[in-house]
Structure 1
């Protein structure tokens, strides 16, 4: 049984969640493709990086939940959407980057917001614990970006000390979705609102330089 059939059985909104999932796939594919272009990759490289960025987080999510085969492999529309995004980047990357400053990060932020919602609700639907569902939401949101950065030899946004807030907005968004689902408050409006809020916080952190706290350093002692 797929996420959307299970969601229907539990009173959720499968059409909306499928749409959010596919929009997230498209956004992540754009971010991966744009980074590949920036790195000077050719057709196969651009397509490959777009695909792993778009589908990687969802595949990891499904494998952790035991939902096999992963949706990315069982539903061809996911592959079609990711390939379409790769084609858009390959043919029109100059237009995207000219219109949007930091386009890679902007599309990545959109995918982050969307996937933390769909990942958390899928985990909840499949019976994960509260903490487990939140972690799955974060992994789903951040997984594709981590794979993208590693393959492109970039410092992963999730770990690099100079990066602005990344996992924290996704974690807060996943928490809001799981709490709403467990208390019967979940709806399409909640899903969309949380995704937009995570996206907005991520963009604000990029704009204002918000960063996660660093470990306390021992005071310097002169010898």
Structure 2
């Protein structure tokens, strides 16, 4: 039995904060793509809930939490309304949004890993689904917006790697019987800080050695 990181009420609030911030990023991309309000809502919902929805379907946790918890489903619509009416102001605090996004990344990679493990998956598969929980919504967002997913682009700061690190740390803690509220929080904090440092110092994954491609950063 995996120990819960926080009390259920606290966990729920943190999940909603993560969902809200992910939804903001989806709605902002929709604005940049000149989508209408429906397109904004779709990207907000997909970004916020896509990763968790994918995880729940894989592990057989049906109906998925995204559809059984009304607050989780409605929160992206609130984010959509905020961006619809105040997107210039939201754009100005983009740095703050990135910080909360990093926090959501850290939280979701840990909770996604533990939930997958509780449903009987092995540690490697659980860590993979924990990573997917954290980054899956962003991938779906970019695909729907007709963009190369950010986590696949060489000209983007590390995003998937912090999630992988947090999920792997969680899996190792479970493996050695050391997982608890403290170690789980530290694993989430590790992913969070790694993402912040990646943004601050523009850490990026290496490309293939001796590559012949002369591809440059997309406009």
> RMSD value over aligned CA atoms?
2.2
- Residue in 2 that maps onto 1:67: 61
Superposition deviation, residue 157 in structure 1: 1.4
Q: Give the unaligned 5+ runs of structure 1.
A: 1-8
Counterpart selection for 1:88 from 78, 82, 87: 82
Q: Give the unaligned 5+ runs of structure 2.
A: 213-219
User: Superposed, which structure 2 residues align to 1:165-176 within 5 Å?
Assistant: 165-176=158-169
SS in 2 for 1:198: helix
- Residue in 2 that maps onto 1:150: 143
Counterpart selection for 2:21 from 27, 31, 41: 27
The answer to whether the Cα contact below 8 Å between 1:37 and 1:46 also exists between their aligned partners in 2 is: yes
The answer to whether the Cα contact below 8 Å between 1:27 and 1:110 also exists between their aligned partners in 2 is: no
- Residue in 2 that maps onto 1:217: 210
Quick one: distance in 2 between partners of 1:89 and 1:107? 16
- Residue in 2 that maps onto 1:197: 190
- Residue in 2 that maps onto 1:97: 91
Superposition deviation, residue 180 in structure 1: 2.0
- Residue in 2 that maps onto 1:188: 181
Superposition deviation, residue 106 in structure 1: 4.4
Identify the range of structure 1 (31-40 vs 45-54) with the bigger mean alpha-carbon deviation.
31-40
Change (3 A) 1:156 1:203: same
The answer to whether the Cα contact below 8 Å between 1:108 and 1:145 also exists between their aligned partners in 2 is: no
2:31 paired with 1:37: yes
SS in 1 for 2:62: coil
Superposition deviation, residue 113 in structure 1: 1.7
SS in 2 for 1:158: helix
